[in-house]
Structure 1
Amino acid sequence: MSTTTKQRLLEVRNLEVTYASGAAAVRGVDLSLDAGQKLGIAGESGCGKSTLALALLRLLPAGTRTSGEILLDGEDVLRMKWGRVRAVRWAGASIVFQGAMHSLNAVHRIGDQIAEPILLHRKATPAGAKKKTGELLEHVGLPAARADAYPHELSGGQRQRVMIAMALACDPRLVIADEPTTALDVMIQAQILRLIEQLVSEQELGLVMISHDLAVLADTCDRLAVMYAGRVVEEGPARQVYDDARHPYGKALSAAFPRIGDTASRFAPRGLPGDPPDPSALPTGCTFHPRCAVALDACVTQDQALRDAGTGRWAACVHVGAPAAPTAPEATGEAEEARSSTS
C-alpha cells in the first residue's frame, strides 16, 4: 500500500544570509510550518529575526548572499525567477511590518493602498477591489467607511489593523508578522493578537510571528524558536520553551519578564549582561559563551549543534543530554568511598 507525505506549507533548510559587509546575519537555520500553525521566533535585536523574515520573501537588499532552501508549498523561493517572486508576494505569502506609520503611504487613502495589490494580483475591476477592501476592513474590525481615511487620521491600533487587512488582501497561505504589536499599548496589543489568532484559525493560514517578547509568543504561537547570533539555539512547544527553557539564552530571555503573581520575579527581575555579538566578528565555539554563566571550556572552542532536549524539543547546548555531575561535597565523598571499596 502506498503512502503519501503531507507537504509542508513552509520549510526552511540550512538557510544562510550574509550581507555585503560580510556580516553573517542568518547561519544554518532550519524551520518548518504547516497550514493552520503558528511559529514564533524570538531573540534580542541583532540576532537575525527580521533578516530571516525578509529572506522568506526575498526582500533583502542588493548584494546580500543567500544559500540553502526556502520551500513555500514545495517551491524554492530563492530559485524563483523574478516574475514568479512578484506573483508569490501578496498572493502566496505576505508580511506585516512593525510600525504601520512607516509602512503606509501618508499621502494615499488607506482604501487605495489595500486595493492596490488586489488590482495588481487579482486583476479585479476597481468596483470589485473597492468591495473587497470594505470586506477586509470589516474583517479586521474597522468600518468599511474608513477606507477614505488617511493614515494620520487613524490610531496606532487601527493602522495596524489596516496593515493586517493589506496582508490578507490576496488570500495568502502564509503571513509573516514582524513585531506587529511593538508600538502599541497593552490593551490594543491584546486585541491585535486575538485578531491574528482568529484569522489564522478561520482561514487555515500559516503564521510566522517575530518578537522579542517571549510571553506574547508563548500565548499566541504553537511552537517557538529562539535565535541567537543568526542561529536557532532552541526550539519546541511555545509554552514549554517559555516556562522551562533548556538553553541558557532561552532561560535568560524568559527570566527577563516578570511573571504575574510571582513576587520574586517582580521585585528581582534578572537581566542578561552584554549584547549579542557583531555578525561580522563572531566569537569562536558557541557564540553565546562570552555571556553564559554555565559555559565550559569546550564551549569556547566547540560550536554546539541542536540536540534532542525532550519530545519535540531541541537545544544547542553542551548541557542538554549530558549526565549531571555531583557537585555537593557529600556526593563526591560517597563516590570516592564507592570506588575505594571496589578496588
Structure 2
Amino acid sequence: MSTTSIRKTPLLEVRDLTVTYAGGAQAVRGVNLQVEAGRKLGIAGESGCGKSTLALALLRLLPAGTKVTGEILLNGEDVLAMKWGQVRAVRWAGASIVFQGAMHSLNAVHRIGDQIAEPILLHKKVTPAAARKRAGELLEQVGLPAARTDAYPHELSGGQRQRVMIAMALACDPGLIIADEPTTALDVMIQAQILRLIEQLVSEQDLGLIMISHDLAVLSDTCDRLAVMYAGRVVEEGPASEVYEGAHHPYSRALSGAFPRIGDLSSRFAPQGLPGDPPDPSALPAGCTFHPRCALALDSCATQDQELRDAGPGRQAACVLVGPEGAAAAPVLPGAEEARSTS
C-alpha cells in the first residue's frame, strides 16, 4: 500500500450506526460519518438529538442492555467487533473523550497529577515517577504550570479544570479526540482560549477531532466540516462555514438563525428560533421526523422519510426541498436570507 493511499484512509469511519436503548428508544439511527487525521468534524443539534449517545457509542461506553449495530472503524478496525481486552486498549491510546463538566469527571479526592498519570500507567510500561513527570509535561502543553500536578480539582478554576481534561485526553497519545461540549458553562474569554488550544493541538499533533456542541457559531469557527443531527439522524453535512451561513435543511437554518449576527440589530433583538422540542426517541413521528416543527413541510413529509441527498459540492441534506427538483420550489424561511446576508 502506498503512502498516499494510507493518508486517504479515514482515521474514523462510522457506517450505518444505530443505537437502541433498553425499552426501544432509538437514540441514533443510521449515522454515517468519517474523520481524517488532522481534520475537525463538528456535530450539532439540540439536546436529545443523539449527539452524546453517538460519542459514547464510538468507544462502547453505553450502558448494558443497549443495542448497537453498524460499524465503527477506528484505524480500519471495527470497535464493535473487538473483544473487551482490545476495547480497553483502544480507549485512551486509540481515542479518548473530553467530557462536559470537568468537575464531575475529575475525582475530587485525588491530585490532578495522579489522575493524569493513571491512564499512562495503565497503557504504557513506565514507572510511577515517569508517569508523574509526563503529567507535568502535559499540563504545560495545555498552558498550566507543571507544579499544578499537586493541586486538587477544587483548587482550579473552571477553565483550568477543562485544560486538565484535555491533558488527560492526550495522556496516551491517541489519534482521535472526542470533545463533548468542552466549553460548557465557561465564560466567552476562557471558551475562546480552550477552542484555540484544541485547534492548536489538532494541527501540531495531526489528531482527528470530533467536537460536539449545540452552538453552530462555535463549530463553524473551529471545525472543517459540520454534521447537524436531529432525532438521531444526520440531516445535513458539509463544510462548516457553508452549513452555518447557508444551510439547506430547515432545521439547520433554524439553528443558525437562533444566534444573533454581529452588527445586525434585528437579529439581536428578534433571533429566529424554533418552537417545540425534538421528538421522544421512543415515539418518533411517521415520515420526516422534523415535519411537525417545520414551517416548510409539504403534505408528503408526514408520510415519506427523507435520506441524505446531494446538496452541492461536498454537501448533503435530508430534505424533500433539496436537490435540482426541490430547490426551484423551495420557499424561504422568513428572515433567513437577511440573516445570511449580514453574516
Unmatched runs of 5 consecutive residues or more in structure 1? 328-343
Residue in structure 2 matching 1:39, options 41, 56, 59: 41
Q: Distance in 2 between matches of 1:7 and 1:242?
A: 27
2:12 to 10, 13, 24: 10
| Map of 2:60 onto structure 1 | 58
Aligned to 1:218: 220
Residues 321, 330 of structure 2: 8 Å contact kept:
no
TM-aligned CA distance change 1:248 to 1:122, over 3 Å: same
Among 152, 155, 158, the alignment partner of 1:156 is 158
Cα distance in 2, alignment partners of residues 223 and 168 from structure 1: 22
How far apart, CA to CA, are the structure 2 residues paired with 1:185 and 1:309? 36
Per-residue CA shift, 1:102-138, capped at 9, x if unaligned? 0000000000000000011012101110110110000
Larger radius of gyration: 1
For 1:275, the equivalent position in structure 2 comes to 277
Whether the 8 Å contact between 2:321 and 2:329 is mirrored in structure 1 is no
Corresponding position of 1:187: 189
Which of 131, 134, 151 is 1:132 aligned to?
A: 134
1:76 aligns with 2:78: yes
User: Whole-Å Cα distance in 1 between the matches of residues 128 and 153 of structure 2?
Assistant: 21
Q: Deviations over 1:271-326 (max 9, x none)?
A: 10000000000000000000000000110000000010000000000000125249
Change (3 A) 1:148 1:230: same
Question: 2:237: which partner in 1?
Answer: 235
SS across alignment from 1:117: helix
Q: Counterparts of 1:78 and 1:302 in 2: how far apart (Å)? A: 31
Q: Which amino acid aligns with 1:226?
A: V
* Secondary structure at 2:91 match in 1: helix
Q: Which residue of 2 is the match for residue 100 of structure 1?
A: 102
> Equivalents in 2 of 1:24, 1:149: separation in Å?
42
Distance 1:244 1:21 in 2: 38
- Structure 2 distance, partners of 1:169, 1:326, is 49
With the length of structure 1 as denominator, give the TM-score of the two structures.
Answer: 0.94
Q: Please give the secondary structure, in 1, of the residue aligned with 2:19.
A: strand
Amino acid at match of 1:49: K
Paired residue for 1:111?
Answer: 113
Cα separation, 2, equivalents of 1:48 and 1:239: 22
Aligned length: 327
The match for 2:22 is 20
Taking the aligned partners of 2:55 and 2:211, their CA distance within structure 1 comes to 9
Once the two structures are overlaid, the 10-residue window that deviates more, 146-155 or 314-323, is 314-323
1:263, 1:292 → 2: CA distance?
26
CA distance in 2, matches of 1:43, 1:123: 41
Which stretch shifts more, 266-275 or 216-225? Answer: 266-275
Matching residue of 1:320: 322
Instruction: Return the alpha-carbon distance in structure 1 between the equivalents of residues 330 and 34 of structure 2.
Output: 38
| Aligned residue type for 1:171 | D
Unpaired runs of 5+ residues, structure 2, are: 332-343
- Identical columns (%): 83
Matched position secondary structure for 2:260: coil
- What is the RMSD computed on CA atoms of the aligned residues? 1.4
Q: Normalized against structure 2, the TM-score is what?
A: 0.94
